[in-house]
Copies of this chain bind each other. A is one copy, B any other.
Amino acid sequence: MERILGIDPGSRVTGYGIIDTDQGQLQYVACGVVKTNPQFPFAHRLNEIFEGINEVVQVHSPVIAAVEDVFMASNPRSALKLGHARGAAVVAAMQNGLAVYDYSPRAVKQAVAGYGQAEKSQVQHMIKVLLGLSGVPSSDAADALAVAICHANQFHI
Protein backbone atom coordinates (compact mmCIF):
# COMPACT_ATOMS: atom_id res chain seq x y z
CA MET A 1 0.00 0.00 0.00
CA GLU A 2 1.25 3.47 -0.85
CA ARG A 3 -0.18 6.81 0.10
CA ILE A 4 0.13 9.43 -2.63
CA LEU A 5 -0.33 13.17 -2.30
CA GLY A 6 -1.38 14.87 -5.54
CA ILE A 7 -0.75 18.62 -5.79
CA ASP A 8 -2.20 21.07 -8.30
CA PRO A 9 -0.20 24.19 -7.52
CA GLY A 10 -1.55 27.70 -7.90
CA SER A 11 -0.62 31.08 -6.45
CA ARG A 12 -4.26 31.68 -5.35
CA VAL A 13 -5.52 28.14 -4.85
CA THR A 14 -3.38 25.02 -4.49
CA GLY A 15 -5.39 21.82 -4.66
CA TYR A 16 -4.34 18.70 -2.81
CA GLY A 17 -5.69 15.18 -2.91
CA ILE A 18 -4.59 12.03 -1.14
CA ILE A 19 -5.22 8.45 -2.19
CA ASP A 20 -4.06 5.03 -1.06
CA THR A 21 -3.20 2.54 -3.76
CA ASP A 22 -2.89 -1.20 -3.27
CA GLN A 23 -2.31 -3.38 -6.32
CA GLY A 24 -4.33 -1.13 -8.60
CA GLN A 25 -7.09 -0.50 -6.05
CA LEU A 26 -7.55 3.18 -5.38
CA GLN A 27 -8.88 4.41 -2.08
CA TYR A 28 -9.83 7.99 -1.43
CA VAL A 29 -8.28 9.51 1.71
CA ALA A 30 -8.75 13.27 1.63
CA CYS A 31 -8.78 16.32 -0.60
CA GLY A 32 -9.04 20.08 -0.29
CA VAL A 33 -7.40 23.36 -1.15
CA VAL A 34 -4.82 25.72 0.31
CA LYS A 35 -6.06 29.24 -0.41
CA THR A 36 -3.77 32.22 -0.17
CA ASN A 37 -4.87 35.73 0.66
CA PRO A 38 -4.47 37.97 -2.43
CA GLN A 39 -4.30 41.00 -0.09
CA PHE A 40 -1.01 39.75 1.28
CA PRO A 41 2.44 40.24 -0.28
CA PHE A 42 3.45 37.47 -2.65
CA ALA A 43 6.22 36.17 -0.34
CA HIS A 44 3.63 35.74 2.39
CA ARG A 45 1.37 33.80 0.04
CA LEU A 46 4.22 31.47 -0.96
CA ASN A 47 4.76 30.82 2.71
CA GLU A 48 1.05 30.01 3.11
CA ILE A 49 1.39 27.38 0.37
CA PHE A 50 4.49 25.90 2.03
CA GLU A 51 2.75 25.75 5.40
CA GLY A 52 -0.53 24.43 3.98
CA ILE A 53 1.18 21.52 2.20
CA ASN A 54 3.37 20.93 5.23
CA GLU A 55 0.26 20.57 7.40
CA VAL A 56 -1.46 18.22 4.94
CA VAL A 57 1.64 16.00 4.88
CA GLN A 58 1.92 15.96 8.65
CA VAL A 59 -1.75 15.04 9.11
CA HIS A 60 -1.95 12.32 6.42
CA SER A 61 1.66 11.07 6.12
CA PRO A 62 1.85 10.38 2.37
CA VAL A 63 5.18 9.02 1.09
CA ILE A 64 4.98 10.28 -2.48
CA ALA A 65 4.09 13.67 -3.92
CA ALA A 66 2.89 13.91 -7.53
CA VAL A 67 2.91 17.53 -8.65
CA GLU A 68 1.31 18.92 -11.78
CA ASP A 69 3.64 20.81 -14.09
CA VAL A 70 3.07 24.39 -15.13
CA PHE A 71 1.39 24.70 -18.49
CA MET A 72 3.77 26.95 -20.42
CA ALA A 73 1.28 28.30 -22.97
CA SER A 74 -0.40 30.45 -20.36
CA ASN A 75 0.84 34.02 -20.23
CA PRO A 76 4.46 34.26 -19.10
CA ARG A 77 3.74 36.36 -16.02
CA SER A 78 1.17 33.84 -14.77
CA ALA A 79 3.53 30.96 -15.52
CA LEU A 80 6.24 32.70 -13.51
CA LYS A 81 3.93 33.19 -10.50
CA LEU A 82 2.84 29.60 -10.79
CA GLY A 83 6.49 28.54 -10.87
CA HIS A 84 7.03 30.28 -7.52
CA ALA A 85 3.95 28.57 -6.04
CA ARG A 86 5.01 25.20 -7.40
CA GLY A 87 8.52 25.68 -5.98
CA ALA A 88 7.04 26.41 -2.53
CA ALA A 89 4.85 23.27 -2.67
CA VAL A 90 7.69 21.03 -3.91
CA VAL A 91 10.01 22.24 -1.15
CA ALA A 92 7.33 21.53 1.48
CA ALA A 93 7.10 17.95 0.18
CA MET A 94 10.89 17.56 0.04
CA GLN A 95 11.35 18.92 3.56
CA ASN A 96 9.04 16.13 4.75
CA GLY A 97 11.09 13.48 2.97
CA LEU A 98 8.55 12.67 0.24
CA ALA A 99 9.65 11.44 -3.18
CA VAL A 100 8.48 14.05 -5.68
CA TYR A 101 7.30 13.29 -9.24
CA ASP A 102 6.16 15.69 -11.96
CA TYR A 103 3.29 15.16 -14.40
CA SER A 104 2.18 17.32 -17.32
CA PRO A 105 -1.44 18.55 -17.34
CA ARG A 106 -1.94 16.47 -20.50
CA ALA A 107 -0.73 13.24 -18.87
CA VAL A 108 -2.95 13.89 -15.85
CA LYS A 109 -6.08 14.40 -17.98
CA GLN A 110 -5.19 11.39 -20.09
CA ALA A 111 -4.85 9.25 -16.96
CA VAL A 112 -8.29 9.99 -15.56
CA ALA A 113 -10.40 10.90 -18.60
CA GLY A 114 -8.56 9.06 -21.39
CA TYR A 115 -8.12 12.32 -23.26
CA GLY A 116 -5.32 14.88 -22.82
CA GLN A 117 -7.58 17.85 -23.57
CA ALA A 118 -10.41 16.84 -21.24
CA GLU A 119 -12.50 19.65 -19.73
CA LYS A 120 -12.32 20.43 -16.02
CA SER A 121 -15.87 19.12 -15.51
CA GLN A 122 -14.93 15.78 -17.14
CA VAL A 123 -11.99 15.43 -14.77
CA GLN A 124 -14.25 16.20 -11.80
CA HIS A 125 -16.81 13.65 -12.97
CA MET A 126 -14.21 10.93 -13.55
CA ILE A 127 -12.65 11.51 -10.12
CA LYS A 128 -16.07 10.97 -8.55
CA VAL A 129 -16.49 7.72 -10.51
CA LEU A 130 -12.94 6.37 -10.10
CA LEU A 131 -12.83 6.99 -6.36
CA GLY A 132 -16.50 6.20 -5.69
CA LEU A 133 -17.15 9.56 -4.07
CA SER A 134 -20.65 10.64 -3.11
CA GLY A 135 -20.13 14.13 -4.50
CA VAL A 136 -17.97 16.00 -7.00
CA PRO A 137 -14.87 17.62 -5.50
CA SER A 138 -13.97 21.22 -6.35
CA SER A 139 -12.04 21.61 -9.57
CA ASP A 140 -8.68 22.24 -7.85
CA ALA A 141 -9.09 19.32 -5.44
CA ALA A 142 -10.22 17.06 -8.31
CA ASP A 143 -7.16 18.04 -10.36
CA ALA A 144 -4.94 17.18 -7.41
CA LEU A 145 -6.58 13.76 -6.97
CA ALA A 146 -6.13 13.27 -10.72
CA VAL A 147 -2.37 13.87 -10.42
CA ALA A 148 -2.20 11.28 -7.64
CA ILE A 149 -4.11 8.76 -9.80
CA CYS A 150 -1.83 9.57 -12.74
CA HIS A 151 1.16 8.57 -10.60
CA ALA A 152 -0.53 5.36 -9.43
CA ASN A 153 -1.26 4.39 -13.06
CA GLN A 154 2.25 5.26 -14.20
CA PHE A 155 3.85 2.95 -11.67
CA HIS A 156 1.08 0.30 -11.68
CA ILE A 157 0.88 0.51 -7.92
Contact = CB atoms under 8 A, between A and B. Distances in A.
A79 interface: yes
Interface in A20-71: 41-44, 46-47, 50, 67, 70
A88 interface: yes
Interface stretch (A90-98, A108-116, A121-129, A146-154): A90-98
Contact of A83 (B43, B79, B92): B79
A110 to B, nearest CB: 22
Given A87-B88, A88-B88, A47 B80 contact: no
B80 A81 contact: no
A48 to B, nearest CB: 9
A74 to B, nearest CB: 10
Given A72-B76, A80-B72, A80-B79, A87 B47 contact: no
Interface of A: 41-44, 46-47, 50, 67, 70, 72, 76-77, 79-88, 90-95, 100, 102
